Structure 1
Amino acid sequence: RYVPERKILDGASFTVPAGNSVAIVGTSGSGKSTILRLLFRFFESTSGSIRIDGQDIRGVTLESLRKSLGVVPQDTVLFNDTIKHNIQYGRLSATDEEVYDAARRASIHDTIMNFPDKYDTVVGERGLKLSGGEKQRVSIARVFLKEPSILLCDEATSALDSTTEASILNSLMSLSVDRTSIFIAHRLTTAMQCDEIIVLENGTVVEQGPHDFLLSKGGRYAELWSQQNNSEASDASDVSLEV
């Protein structure tokens, strides 16, 4: 809880097996992002515990904890510096070749090589010279460079159009291979790619299982899936404009 009178997470309990991918879904305010904040220890949990390999994260240093975590956020923070430096932020000691390799793995190297100044291109304040998809690929390249044992994705594709989302999602799935991965997912097309899906409602786990299993149950996840598909179908309606 952030304030005494209101619980955010209430008896939420689950395990992510090493090397598996898990999506956490639910409506706004269900507690999804709070889980990531607790994992990073931006806040301490008021009860219960979070354990990595059986060790309570409150018993390790912040440096040790955060060294093992890599994050791809919804809104990537970029510095008004070169694109090479922005990727290298994932591991400041990385060589140029390691930066280039990370960019290739994130499928942004060819794009960078088409920029007039290539890796020396200055991206502008908060990366304004890059598209949303390009900014996300820089974020993914950072994590490839860092090579963390745990990947956290906080609605990393929710601000992208459907075509760019599909492309970025492929890169994220490549990044998550053999790496313990937690996806906070607004779009369920991300969730369906994961080994397990956890459905949160008012801070409590109400359903858990793979995509097909949860759809077959016809419960809360199936309801969210139907709502999202109907919404996307409505968004795709024809539009006429006369000027």
Structure 2
Amino acid sequence: MNFRRNTSNFFAQVSYTLSMVISLAVGSFFVVNGQILVGGLISLFLASDRLTSPIISIVNITNQLNSVSPLLKNKALQKPISKQFNNLSFVNLPDQQRIVFDNCTLGYENLAILKNINFKIFEGDKILITGKSGIGKSTLFKSLLNELPLIKGKILVDNQLNKSNFLSNFGIVGQDTYIFAESLRFNLTLGKNIPSSQLIKVLKKVKLEYLANKKHLDTPIGEKGLSLSGGEKRKVEIARALLNKKEFLLVDEGLSGLDDDSRKQVFSLLQSLPQTIIEIEHTMSIEDKQKFNQVVNLVAK
């Protein structure tokens, strides 16, 4: 896509430059031969500009539409289709409880992977889900989001989360952050109309202070030198969730693939947020585990 955009921009600019040069050369020839005055030369030059400027505009608009097309095709970013939440029972939970896994058996097509899953999630909790690779950590997320049916048990959800679109309560932070070859503003808002002051505020909150200004907000990330590290991309993803006022962040190996410094920064940021964080990590130091309100170690049964 970037190749097509760069190619179309190149030919548009070449066409524009050639038309300017040709009109100036032809006009100068007529002036030298006394066929037109300098005013006529200026008129010829402006007429050529009016002819070619719309071509540049059309190319720019086409490129913008093409750049947004992945947003329309990406299922993770589309508006979720309303589902029947057969995994969830909405009830009035006490003591700031928000979600309760009650004797749940999780798996695929009635093949149990995890049995007797029992734990409570309170508002603002930082919960770590651990277990060996393939044990079913992501299966737990999918069951909560109703992507997989429960085999047994039930997930109790507080009525405060019973919105028309239950999934709107959740933001996702994963290993692969989708970054568009557009401005930082677009990557934060995904096309929504959000004031610059709010974007700057959230950039500071996720520790991207050097980007927290209007100049960087309107700088294309993929083409103008504003390259982001893995840690910075994760912070942009967290900022998206904060801008959309997500109450829960589901972090699926969100620290994976980061260098030590970026890992520490992202981990510290997640721990500092008021949102309820449910984090899946394959490995975690004993010191970091102690910072969570609850550690759920999944074991096959």
Q: TM-score, normalised on structure 1? A: 0.70
Alignment-derived partner of residue 251 in structure 2: 153
**TM superposition shift of 1:75:** 1.5
Count of matched residue positions in the alignment of Structure 1 and Structure 2:
191
**TM superposition shift of 1:46:** 3.0
2:203 to 88, 99, 103: 103
**Is 1:85 aligned to 2:189, yes or no?**
no
* Inter-CA distance 42–93: structure 2 relative to 1 (3 Å threshold): farther
State the structure with more CA Rg.
2
The 3-state SS of whatever aligns with 1:201 is: coil
| CA distance in 1 between partners of 2:207 and 2:177 (Å) | 17
**TM superposition shift of 1:27:** 0.5
Alignment-derived partner of residue 140 in structure 1: 238
Unpaired runs of 5+ in structure 2? 1-106
Greater strand fraction, Structure 1 or Structure 2: 2
2:237 maps to a residue whose letter is: S
* Inter-CA distance 43–107: structure 2 relative to 1 (3 Å threshold): same
2:108 maps to a residue whose letter is: Y
**Is 1:184 aligned to 2:290, yes or no?**
no
Post-superposition CA distance 1:100-124 (Å, at most 9, x none): 11111011131465x9x51122233
Post-superposition CA distance 1:119-140 (Å, at most 9, x none): 1222339xx9321011011011
**Is 1:73 aligned to 2:174, yes or no?**
yes
1:196 maps to a residue whose letter is: Q
Q: CA RMSD in A?
A: 2.6
2:236 maps to a residue whose letter is: V
**Is 1:11 aligned to 2:112, yes or no?**
no
Q: Which has the higher contact order (CA 8 A, sep 6+)?
A: 1
Alignment-derived partner of residue 23 in structure 1: 128
| CA distance in 1 between partners of 2:269 and 2:170 (Å) | 18
Alignment-derived partner of residue 2 in structure 1: 108
* Inter-CA distance 14–111: structure 2 relative to 1 (3 Å threshold): same
**TM superposition shift of 1:151:** 2.0
Unpaired runs of 5+ in structure 1? 205-243
**TM superposition shift of 1:200:** 0.4
| CA distance in 1 between partners of 2:109 and 2:203 (Å) | 42
Determine what percentage of the aligned residue pairs are the same residue: 29
Alignment-derived partner of residue 32 in structure 1: 137
Alignment-derived partner of residue 41 in structure 2: none
Post-superposition CA distance 1:41-86 (Å, at most 9, x none): 222323322222168x8xx57x521211122212112222211111
1:21 maps to a residue whose letter is: K
Q: Contact between 1:84 and 1:120, CA under 8 Å: does it hold in 2?
A: yes
The 3-state SS of whatever aligns with 1:13 is: strand
Q: Contact between 1:24 and 1:191, CA under 8 Å: does it hold in 2?
A: no
1:163 to 261, 264, 281: 261
